[in-house]
Structure 1
Amino acid sequence: MLALSLNILYGATYIFAAWKWGDWKHWRKYYPTILFFILGDLLYQFLLHDHSMWKFEPVGVDKELPINHTTIVLSVIFIKYPATILIFLGRFPEGRFKQIIHIATWIAIYVINEYLTLKLNGMTYHNGWNFASSLFFTIVMFLILRIHHTRPLLAWIFSGIFILFLWKVFHVPFDILK
């Protein structure tokens, strides 16, 4: 049994990373993309509440605390996402090759984070979603986040198309909507 709170460990890690490497001086410049990131997850949580693709599970001492999928999602939304954007966009390099490496690094961070969470039974997949789906989603997500920072309207268009694509691929029934 894991003798610590996975949720608190992840939260503390992202808070430390944001404190150490985040571009706090220019946070207002990244704020729209932080909100875009948060809204995307909230939209998923709302629309697919009754047809989840994945679900977070409490691990270790989290089981003894009032921690569940919703509280974990809220910590991800309000800690991990802002920290990610402050570092990802705040340290975005010049030059195409460096940009590709930077994006690939963030994809790797998120994929490794998810892999560890899966191995520790902190997350389950549902309705056809799997690790490969998450990898694909993460790649598209970081590309769209970068686009949003410089061309927000284009990012919204790409996001809408991507949502419709995922809706069709995963056969999400429209009758789950209230």
Structure 2
Amino acid sequence: MEEAVPYHLVFMVINLTYNVLYYNHTLWAFRGITADWLSHSIINIAFTFFIVPIGLLIFLQRMPDKRTNQLIYISAWVVFYTVIQTLFAHKGMYVYDNGWNGWLNILLNSALFSVVYLHYRRLICHSNFDTVGYHFLFHISVSFGQLKIRGGSM
């Protein structure tokens, strides 16, 4: 279990970077449909600190040894997360914006699960370059003038 903690931190850093850089220019966002107080931030915090750690723990603990089986296993997790996101989007609980769509979620989920596994196997070292690389991977730019700091813009 202790081995999986740093790999959850990889996700947390990537997620935090996304939420800071794209605060005023979201590509996707959670929407609470059952209560007015359920904002993207509250749902995302629950997702980041409760759902993802459990999911990644299961993902990493059950990883098969054979490379072919690993590819199938990672693909199954990508499909699972993509289906969940698609169902949430259909119900209005997960919305796309600024050119983002479900097809890009497949690419993002593939990259995230692959990088978490590669970090777990110590095949690559995490750095800020890895985190920023996700943003360049999808060729989506955001102006730093759009960043919100203490209620104002930068």
TM range (shorter): 0.7 to 0.9
Q: Is the 8 A contact 2:118 2:124 kept in 1?
A: no
Task: Write the deviation string for residues 10-58 of structure 1: whole angstroms up to 9, x where unpaired.
Answer: xxxxxxxxxxxxxxxxx11111001111121111111211111111111
Q: Provide the residue aligned with 1:89 in structure 2.
A: 60
Task: Evaluate the alpha carbon distance shift between residue 158 and residue 40 of structure 1 in structure 2; reply closer, same or farther with a 3 A threshold.
Answer: closer
Q: Counterparts in 2 of 1:138-153, with a 5 A limit? A: 138-151=109-122, 153=124
Unaligned runs of 5+ in 2: 148-153
Q: Counterparts in 2 of 1:1-178, with a 5 A limit? A: 27-59=1-33, 62-63=34-35, 66-151=37-122, 153-156=124-127, 157-166=129-138, 169-177=139-147, 178=154
Aligned-CA RMSD value: 1.7
Report the structure, 1 or 2, having the larger helix content.
1
Deviation at 1:164, TM superposition (A): 2.4
Q: Percent identity?
A: 25
Supply the AA of the counterpart residue of 1:163: H
Instruction: Give the distance between the partners of 1:143 and 1:115, measured in 2 at CA.
Output: 20
Task: Write the deviation string for residues 99-147 of structure 1: whole angstroms up to 9, x where unpaired.
Answer: 0111011001100110110111101111111111111111111111101
TM-score by length of 2: 0.87
Task: Evaluate the alpha carbon distance shift between residue 55 and residue 129 of structure 1 in structure 2; reply closer, same or farther with a 3 A threshold.
Answer: same
Deviation at 1:155, TM superposition (A): 4.4
The structure 1 segments of at least 4 consecutive aligned residues displaced by more than 6 Å after TM superposition are: none
- Partner SS state of residue 127, structure 1: coil
Q: Provide the residue aligned with 2:150 in structure 1.
A: none
- Partner SS state of residue 63, structure 1: coil
Instruction: Give the distance between the partners of 2:65 and 2:83, measured in 1 at CA.
Output: 25
Q: Is the 8 A contact 2:78 2:113 kept in 1?
A: yes
Task: Write the deviation string for residues 57-94 of structure 1: whole angstroms up to 9, x where unpaired.
Answer: 112xx225x21111110110011110111101011111
Question: How many residues in Structure 1 have an aligned counterpart in Structure 2?
Answer: 147
Unaligned runs of 5+ in 1: 1-26
Q: Is the 8 A contact 1:144 1:159 kept in 2?
A: no
